Amino acid sequence: MQVVERLSVAPTKTFRVGPLRLTARMLQIAIEIGVLGGSFGLAYLLRFDFSLPPDEVPSMFIQAAFVVAIQTIALRSSGAHRFIWRYTSTRDARVIAIALASVCTLLLGIRFVHFAFPQSVVVPMSIAILDLFIAFVGILGVRMARREVYERSRRLHSEQLERKPVILVGAGQAGVMTLAEIKRRGDIDIDVKAFVDDDPSKHGANINGVRVAGSISDLPHLVNKLGIDHVIISIAQASRSEFRNILNICQEIPIKVRTIPGLYELLQGNVTVSRIRNIEIEDLLGREAVDIARDDLDEFLRGKTVMVTGAGGSIGSELVRQLSRSGTERLVLVERSEPALFQIEQELLSASSQAKVDAVVADITDRERMNNLFLRFQPHVVFHAAAHKHVPLMENNPSEALKNNVLGTNLVADLAGRHDCDAFVLISSDKAVCPTSVMGATKRLAELVIQHMDRKYDTRFVAVRFGNVIGSNGSVIPTFREQIKRGGPVTVTHPEMTRYFMTIPEASQLVLQAGAIGNGGDIMILDMGKPVKILDLARETIKLSGLRPDEDIEIKFTGMRPGEKLSESLSSDAEELLRTVHPKIFVGKISVHPGLRVPRILDEIPRLCSVDDQQDIRYCISQWLPESDLGNKVMPNRPPAVRRIGLSGAHSVAA
């Protein structure tokens, strides 16, 4: 239903002018031609001081037809005819001015080569210049008049709304944009009473009729004085500390706080500043915008075919969104979840993706299917985001974790090498560092596979390691929200548990950048900032829901689940981090396992999975990865089943 609504065509408005029926576009063209003709006639009258000699009248009409025709062509060529009159802006004025100035330049140029043109179309210099200014005022004037009529009708309609008095926090560019859009639109039930800003130079200034009344610390006084309903943070790039400071002040007043979309959303054109929303926990965890080296990305992606596995997941789908705007020629979306794939495909289609999009339902462990996809699409770059990622689930399904995360990675990476891809980028995890879970261990094995493939093929293989992303499927924040919606309790495994957090767009941007600058065999590590206590996260989420922790909503400690750590690390103590050209991306100098070890591990995994004995899988992983902490989970005094089925290589591999 939603797709049908987007594709439906609104009925065209028609107007009756005498016996004629004109569409809105036809009427606009007629008005413009009339204005251009009238402007030229007025310029002629001004040139002759409103005493036009009779012998000049024929020349005036011939020249008017010639000039109006050229001006109409110039305006259409500039795209000015596509601008909606009721939304006329300074950008429209600039385009119109350039189009008309180019016509004036042409008319003046004709005077210097007048012998090549009929004398009747050679326009006097004074008339050409006068016409430029009169036509510009006329064309822009009728558009502004249409905008004024539209805004007046919206204002009359909006007077029926009960407006809520608000204060905008931040009188910078985002604040000015927010105020302008609120004033322009008549369907927003907001009345901006004042700005506050911590920049003293702005205090007392008047912005579009609204005064900057003080700093953020003055909010309690201003809220009471002006009878404010709620406060809106109009800072497009507010840091975590700024959000917390404003939120703390407003909670003490107390008063509700809302915000405009973040800088990333605004720059991508996904939303407008008037899409005012409640503060989310993502705002408190958000960090500064990522600076991207566009030259590196252009060289890496522009004009190329890019395959993304796991394209329907949290990271995969955001990678796809950003790749669709990066100059990529073709995007191949590989996903085995049909609903997830359909959703991201429809999103790209409705957003008019710059790249050609091919959505493919496929399992990355199916060699024949994946090989056919590589033969069909011949991708230049592969981003491998497909993986099983839920720690507790994989503890109970270790054979599936090995098949998908290790064998699947090996299969796709091997095909990328065989088909001469330029680059292969693996999405790894901080849980691969000294893994205590099956999921973390399989991601570490996937990293070893990548390094092995880099020695085997000319393709540049890179792994990117980072921590939790905010709001990903099945992550802690959506879980907290669901628990709060049900009335609690909010469950936290341990009061001291901490995790690194990064927004999905930030992580995806850095993955693209890391893929562009990483050398073959590198394990790139993203700067995740400072770790956050999960208990603090739970309390903040409850507060932002308008409730009180431990009073309205209980916080319950459930104990650590199998495979979990109290805290994660992006590198082990034995690993050295080297800086790259990007301040948020590092290269982990991680010891590479012997070249013969990885193939033997890969040979053992299918036979190990066929037995599907959890204890034996953990035992073998602990032998393959001595740095892991899975060995103590194996039942004591139990001979591994690998000996019974002849998997003697499992022991020799670890030697």
Residue with the bigger pLDDT between 605 and 479: it is 605
For the ranges 91-95, 278-282, 395-399, the maximum mean pLDDT occurs at 395-399
Helix or strand holding residue 210 (H, E): strand 210-211
Is there a single domain that holds both residue 262 and residue 341?
Answer: no
For the ranges 111-115, 392-396, 546-550, 649-653, the maximum mean pLDDT occurs at 392-396
Helices (H) and strands (E) in the chain, counts: 25, 24
Q: What pLDDT shows up at residue 636?
A: 47
The domain boundary residue, chosen from 279, 309, 326: 279
Is there a single domain that holds both residue 208 and residue 130?
Answer: no
Note if the bond before 489 is cis, omega within 30 degrees.
Answer: yes
In sequence order, what are the residues at sequence separation of 6 or more whose Cβ sits closer than 8 angstroms to the Cβ of residue 212? 171, 194, 195, 196, 197, 202, 203, 204, 205, 206
Q: What pLDDT shows up at residue 366?
A: 96
Please provide residue 34's backbone torsions phi and psi, each rounded to the nearest 5 degrees.
-65, -40
Instruction: Encode pLDDT of 154-178 as tens digits.
Output: 666 555 567 789 999 988 888 888 8
In a domain, residue 490? The reply is no
In a domain, residue 563? The reply is no
Which of 210-219, 346-355, 547-556, 564-573 shows the lowest per-residue confidence on average (mean pLDDT)? 564-573
Q: What pLDDT shows up at residue 282?
A: 66
Buried b (16+ CB within 10 A) or exposed e, 48-77: eeeeeeeeeeebbeebbebbbebbbebbee
Structural domains in the chain (count): 4
The domain boundary residue, chosen from 249, 279, 309: 279
Is there a single domain that holds both residue 610 and residue 583?
Answer: no
Q: What pLDDT shows up at residue 337?
A: 94
Is there a single domain that holds both residue 53 and residue 150?
Answer: yes
Residue with the bigger pLDDT between 274 and 387: it is 387
Question: pLDDT over 70 for what percent of the chain?
Answer: 78
In sequence order, what are the residues at sequence separation of 6 or more whose Cβ sits closer than 8 angstroms to the Cβ of residue 194? 167, 168, 210, 211, 212, 213, 222, 226
Is there a single domain that holds both residue 312 and residue 397?
Answer: yes
Residue with the bigger pLDDT between 641 and 339: it is 339
Q: What pLDDT shows up at residue 54?
A: 85
113 by Cβ neighbours in 10 Å (0-12 / 13-18 / 19+) ranks as exposed
Helix or strand holding residue 413 (H, E): helix 408-418
Residue with the bigger pLDDT between 329 and 574: it is 329
* 8 CB neighbour count, 10 Å cutoff: 8
Rg of the chain (C-alpha set): 32
Is there a single domain that holds both residue 315 and residue 441?
Answer: yes
In a domain, residue 422? The reply is yes
CATH number where 304 lies? 3.40.50.720
Pick the catalytic residue from 431, 543, 584, 633.
431
Q: What is the SS3 string spanning 448-468?
A: HHHHHHHHHCCCEEEEEECCE
- C-alpha torsion angle, residues 599, 601, 606, 612 (rounded to 10): 180
Average pLDDT over residues 120-126: 83
State the pTM of this model: 0.61
Is there a single domain that holds both residue 205 and residue 117?
Answer: no
For the ranges 100-114, 271-285, 308-322, the maximum mean pLDDT occurs at 308-322
In a domain, residue 284? The reply is no
DSSP code of residue 402: I
Domain encompassing residue 612 = 597-654
Q: What pLDDT shows up at residue 647?
A: 40
Are the beta carbons of 304 and 279 closer than 8 angstroms? no
Indicate the average pLDDT of the chain.
Answer: 80
With a cut of 50, say whether residue 604 has pLDDT above it: yes
Average pLDDT over residues 75-80: 85
Q: What pLDDT shows up at residue 648?
A: 39
With a cut of 80, say whether residue 561 has pLDDT above it: no
The domain boundary residue, chosen from 279, 302, 321: 279
**Of residues 157, 199, 153, 155, the one with CA closest to residue 175:** 199
Are the beta carbons of 319 and 425 closer than 8 angstroms? no
Is there a single domain that holds both residue 229 and residue 302?
Answer: no
Is there a single domain that holds both residue 115 and residue 150?
Answer: yes
Place of tokens 């404003």: 246
Instruction: Encode pLDDT of 394-449 as tens digits.
Output: 999 999 999 999 999 999 999 999 999 999 999 998 888 888 889 999 999 999 99
Is there a single domain that holds both residue 112 and residue 173?
Answer: no
With a cut of 70, say whether residue 20 has pLDDT above it: no
DSSP code of residue 501: E
Is there a single domain that holds both residue 510 and residue 367?
Answer: yes
Q: What pLDDT shows up at residue 238?
A: 67
In a domain, residue 262? The reply is yes
In a domain, residue 222? The reply is yes
Q: What pLDDT shows up at residue 513?
A: 84
Question: Residue 170: CA atoms inside 13 Å, Cβ hemisphere, count?
Answer: 22
In a domain, residue 562? The reply is no
In a domain, residue 485? The reply is no
Residue with the bigger pLDDT between 373 and 56: it is 373
**Of residues 85, 80, 97, the one with CA closest to residue 144:** 85
Average pLDDT over residues 579-590: 59
Does the annotation mark 589 as catalytic?
A: no
Q: What pLDDT shows up at residue 269?
A: 45
Instruction: Encode pLDDT of 39-55 as tens digits.
Output: 999 998 888 888 888 88
pLDDT confidence band for 246 (50 / 70 / 90) = confident
Is there a single domain that holds both residue 453 and residue 517?
Answer: yes
